[in-house]
Amino acid sequence: MTVIARRLAGHLARGIVMILVVATISFFIVRSIPGDPVAANVQKLIEQGMAPEAAEQATRVLYGFQPTGSLWQQYTDYMAGLLTFDLGQSVTHAGAPVTQVLGEAAKWTVLPVLAGTLLSFLVGIILGVYAAIKRTGKLGDILAISGSLLHGVPQYVLGLLLSAIFATLIPILPADGPVDILFEPGFNAGYIGSLVEHAVLPVVTYALAAYGGWILAMKSSVVTVLGDDFILAAELRGMKRSIIFRYIARNAILPLFTILALSLGLLLGGAVFIERIFNYPGLGLLLLDSITMRDYALMGGAFLLITAAIIVANIIADLFYSVIDPRVRSGEEVGA
């Protein structure tokens, strides 16, 4: 256990340093993008006939801050705020805190992405095992071909296709947002039912888009393990098929956990097409909007969130490895 604790401490320290570095880089990159929303607002008010002084005053009231500090001062303010999880205010959301805006959007991204990825992971690895074991038969061919086909179709094409079929041609599922506005938000059957109903198409899209990758990766991993000596050894020792099957599955699934963790981290920012197609006000769309509106604070916050998600996913994957793979667990002891 101490090995795991030491690993965790090391990962956290490295993760925090990495987040600070990314925050710094994104701060300066974001501010080097041409366009200034505050200046634009002042300009707009002046054009509407307001005196320059009054325009600046009104803008200050609107956004709640003065854009007068030097870049360096802004940077130190930003980093200091970061330590208290204060990412500043979003200019496009009438000065609402960035963390709050991100939190609102995150729930529409995290749940469908998580559900879709886990669904495709489960289905993909189970079918991947069959595709590997039956690789010389028809079933194996069909599974492998379905994997290759789906792997080759871009996410947004799948999304548009599903939306066209199940929401337009045969309108049995909604594709008009995350939930029906008729229902009172909260823990009531109507609201939750509506949430689930609306989530079906986006979740299935995520799942289908990722399924091909899982089935192909699992198939090749299983084929590799099948060729390992210890599988033949287990057979020659007369081990039961069910036990050998477990040996194969557990060894084959190991390398896939890294991919799973990475894809979960990445999907936070990469869901923009599906959010647009199914009208989910999620992180992908938020990031897109923040870029078009030059909402520096929001942009930086969204980048930071994606970075943190990937780093955390990696830490979880690594810790998970040290739990399930004894070679990783004792690796540091042997090396020390």
Partner 1 sequence: MTKSAPGVRIDGLTVVYKTPAGELPAVRDVRLTLEPGTITGIVGESGSGKSTLALSLLNAVQPPGRISAGSVEIDGLGDVVGLRNEQLRKARGKHIGYVFQAAQNSLNPLKTVGKQLLDLGRSHGVNDLPGLVREARELLGRMGLDGARVLDSHQHELSGGMRQRVGIMLALVLNAHLVVLDEPTTALDMITQANILKIVREVHAERGLTTLVITHDIGVVAEVADRLAVMYGGRLVEQGPTREVLGAPRHPYTKGLIKAIPRLVGDIDEAQALPGRPPTLATVPAEGCVFRERCPLRMDVCDTVDPEARVDAGAGGPRAVACHAVTVKEHA
53 contributes a contact to partner 1 by CB under 8 A: no
Stretch that binds partner 1, among 64-72, 141-149, 179-187, 248-256 (CB under 8 A): 248-256
Q: If we measure between CA atoms, which residue out of 261, 218, 279, 221 comes closest to residue 117? A: 261
Are 213 and 128 in contact, with CB atoms under 8 Å apart? no
Q: How many residues bind partner 1 (CB under 8 A)?
A: 23
Residue 175 or 252: the one with the smaller Cβ distance to partner 1 is 252
Q: How far is the CB of 335 from partner 1 (least distance, A)?
A: 12
* Strand-pair partners of 90: 96
Contacts 24+ apart (CB under 8 A), 135-139: 135/219, 135/223
The residues near 128 (Cβ < 8 Å, ≥ 6 apart) are 143, 147, 214, 215, 216, 217, 218, 219, 221, 222
Neighbours of 254 (CB within 10 A): 16
Specify the DSSP element, H or E, that contains 305: helix 296-324
Stretch that binds partner 1, among 32-40, 225-233, 268-276, 304-312 (CB under 8 A): 225-233
How far, in Å, CA of 224 to CA of 7, rounded?
A: 29
Q: How far is the CB of 129 from partner 1 (least distance, A)?
A: 16
Q: How far is the CB of 140 from partner 1 (least distance, A)?
A: 15
DSSP state of 34: S
229 contributes a contact to partner 1 by CB under 8 A: yes
Residue 241: both structure tokens together: 């098929």
Residue 170: both structure tokens together: 């045969």
Residue 33 or 233: the one with the smaller Cβ distance to partner 1 is 233
Residue 176 or 235: the one with the smaller Cβ distance to partner 1 is 235
How far, in Å, CA of 271 to CA of 209, rounded?
A: 11
330 contributes a contact to partner 1 by CB under 8 A: yes
Residue with tokens 């690895």: 125
245 contributes a contact to partner 1 by CB under 8 A: no
232 contributes a contact to partner 1 by CB under 8 A: yes
Interface positions, 276-315, toward partner 1 (CB under 8 A): none
Q: How far is the CB of 139 from partner 1 (least distance, A)?
A: 18
335 contributes a contact to partner 1 by CB under 8 A: no
249 contributes a contact to partner 1 by CB under 8 A: no
Q: If we measure between CA atoms, which residue out of 94, 208, 231, 108 comes closest to residue 152? A: 208
Residue 82: both structure tokens together: 């970061």
Q: How far is the CB of 128 from partner 1 (least distance, A)?
A: 18
How far, in Å, CA of 57 to CA of 221, rounded?
A: 63
Residue 167 or 254: the one with the smaller Cβ distance to partner 1 is 254
Q: How far is the CB of 213 from partner 1 (least distance, A)?
A: 24
14 contributes a contact to partner 1 by CB under 8 A: no
Q: How far is the CB of 223 from partner 1 (least distance, A)?
A: 14
Q: How far is the CB of 207 from partner 1 (least distance, A)?
A: 28
Total residue length of the chain: 336
Binding footprint of partner 1 on the chain (CB under 8 A): 228-230, 232-241, 243, 247, 250-251, 254, 324-327, 330
